[in-house]
Amino acid sequence: MDASKQINEREALEMLAETFAEPPENIRPEVERSTIVGWDSMGALMLMAELDERFSIELNAETSKKMQRIGDVLEFLRQKGALKS
């Protein structure tokens, strides 16, 4: 991952709030997917598009469906080297 593309956790949470059209205060690592209205089937596509566009990261459908909390997305970003440790 190009270091210039890496983001920190705060920036990642802001990105997810924008992607799911949620107020930033609602987006925290422990928040469950089922409580985020914007993280529906369309929101999942938005997230795929965002990660592809911003980091050239492929989020496949299977991995996307397994994500149950905001923290799962953060962990995925970390594994892919997009999140600064």
Partner 1 sequence: MSQTRIPHLKVAGVSTCVPARVFDNLERGKDFGDTEVRKVVAMAGVRRRHVVEPGVTATDLCFEAAVRLLERLGWARESVTAVILVTQSPDYFLPSSVCMAHKWLGLHSDCAAFDVGLGCSSYPYGLYLAGTMLQAGGQQRMLLLNGETPSLFTDPDDHATTLLFGDAGSATAIEVDEQAAPAFFNLHTDGSGYDGLIVRGGAYRDRTPSNPRLNFLQMDGAAVFNFTIKRVPALIRATLEFAGLSVEDIDTYLFHQSNQFMMKHLIKKAELPMERVPFVLDRFGNCGGPSVPLALTQGGAATPTAARRIMALGYGVGLSWGSAVFNLAADAPLLHSDYSGTVPRS
Map 62-73 to HEC letters. HHHHHCCEHHHH
Three-class secondary structure of residue 66 per DSSP: helix
Provide the mask over 4-43, with x wherever binding to partner 1 is found by CB under 8 A and - wherever it is not.
-------------------------------------xx-
| C-beta neighbour count of 8 within 10 angstroms | 11
Provide the mask over 65-84, with x wherever binding to partner 1 is found by CB under 8 A and - wherever it is not.
x-------------------
Q: Tell me which residues touch partner 1 (CB under 8 A).
A: 41-42, 44-46, 48-49, 52-53, 58-61, 64-65
